[in-house]
Amino acid sequence: MTDLSQSTRQFPKIDGAFTAIIVIYICVALFLPAEFGATLGFTANAMTSTAPFIIFAVLAVAYLKATGAETLLARAFEGAQTRMIVLAALLGGLSPFCSCEVIPFIAALLAVGAPLGAVMAFWLSSPLMDPAMFAITSGTLGFDFAIAKTIAAVGLGLFGGFVTMALSNNPVFVDPLREKPKVGGCCGVKAPFQGKPVWAFWQDSERKLAFRDTAVENAVFLTKWLLLAYTIEALMIRFIPAEW
C-alpha cells in the first residue's frame, strides 16, 4: 500500500514581499513601459546608497549572535527603560539617517533584544531631523524653525516610545523580530551560546554556522523589504504630485 504521506508534495512557501515586487514590475512593464527603466533605476540607486548600512547591520548582528555577545548588549538595555527612551529620542534627532537607512539599525536593535519603546523612539525621531537637515533648514526657513522642528522630532520620538512602553505588556509587542529563540546548531538546545562571549567565533564550527545563518536571514529580510519600499517610493514620486 502506497504511503500517502510520502506522495504528498511539499511546495515552497511563497514570499509575499518578493511576490509583490515582481507583480509591481510586471504591471509597470505592461501598462507603463516608459516608466519601467526609471523605476528600476531609482530602486537600484537607492539600494546602492543604502547598501553600506545594510551590510554593517547584517554583519554586526551576525557577529553578536555568533560570539554570544548579544546577551551583553541586551543587558545594556535592561532597567530604566524611561531613560533609554529619552536617550534614544535624543540620539535619533542627531543621527544622519533617512527613513529607509534607519531600518537596518532598527532590525539590529530588535534582534539583540533592545526594548521596543526605546527602538520606537529612535525610529520616529531619526528620519525627521539630522545635522545636515538642521543646517539646510536653518539656511532656508530660519534658525527658529530648525529648532522647532528638532524639538518636534524629539517630542514625537518620546511620545511614540512611551506609548509603546505602555503597551509593552500586550502579546503583540512581545519579542518582535525574535521568532526563533535558538542560536544556530542542530542539537535542539535552546540558546546554546551562553556565558562568556567567544570573540574569535570562526574557530568554532557551530558558531560559524550561526554567523552564516544569521547573516543570510537578516540580509534577505532587509533587502526584500527595502526593495519593495524603494519601488513603491519611485512610483509615488512619479505619480503623486509633490503639492500633496
Predicted confidence band of residue 187 (pLDDT cuts 50, 70, 90):
very low
- Residue 186 resides in a domain: yes
Residues 71 and 150 placed together within one structural domain of the fold: yes
Residues 196 and 163 placed together within one structural domain of the fold: no
- Residue 6 resides in a domain: no
- The number of distinct structural domains making up the chain is 2
The model's pLDDT over 205-227, given as tens digits with 9 standing for 90+, comes to 898 999 999 899 889 988 999 99
Residues 221 and 155 placed together within one structural domain of the fold: no
Question: Is 190 a residue whose pLDDT tops 60?
Answer: no
Residues 83 and 154 placed together within one structural domain of the fold: yes
Residues 188 and 109 placed together within one structural domain of the fold: no
Residues 131 and 220 placed together within one structural domain of the fold: no
Q: State the amino acid at position 53 in one-letter form.
A: F
- Residue 33 resides in a domain: no
Residues 137 and 73 placed together within one structural domain of the fold: yes
Residues 106 and 160 placed together within one structural domain of the fold: yes
What's the rounded Cα separation, in Å, for the pair 86 and 162?
9
- Give the angle subtended at the CA of 87 by the CAs of 130 and 197, to the nearest 5°: 110
Look at residues 234, 228, 226, 232 and name the one whose alpha carbon lies nearest to residue 58.
226
Last-in-domain residue among 137, 155, 178:
178
Q: Which residues, in sequence order, are CB contacts of 120 under 8 Å at separation 6+?
A: 157, 160, 161, 164
Question: Is 114 a residue whose pLDDT tops 60?
Answer: yes
Instruction: Quote the pTM value.
Output: 0.66
- Residue 216 resides in a domain: yes
Residue 207, domain extent: 180-235
- Residue 108 resides in a domain: yes
- Residue 157 resides in a domain: yes
pLDDT at 78: 60
- Residue 125 resides in a domain: yes
Cell numbers found for residue 30: 505592461
- Residue 38 resides in a domain: no
Residues 143 and 187 placed together within one structural domain of the fold: no
The model's pLDDT over 128-174, given as tens digits with 9 standing for 90+, comes to 887 767 877 887 788 899 899 999 999 999 999 999 988 877 776 66
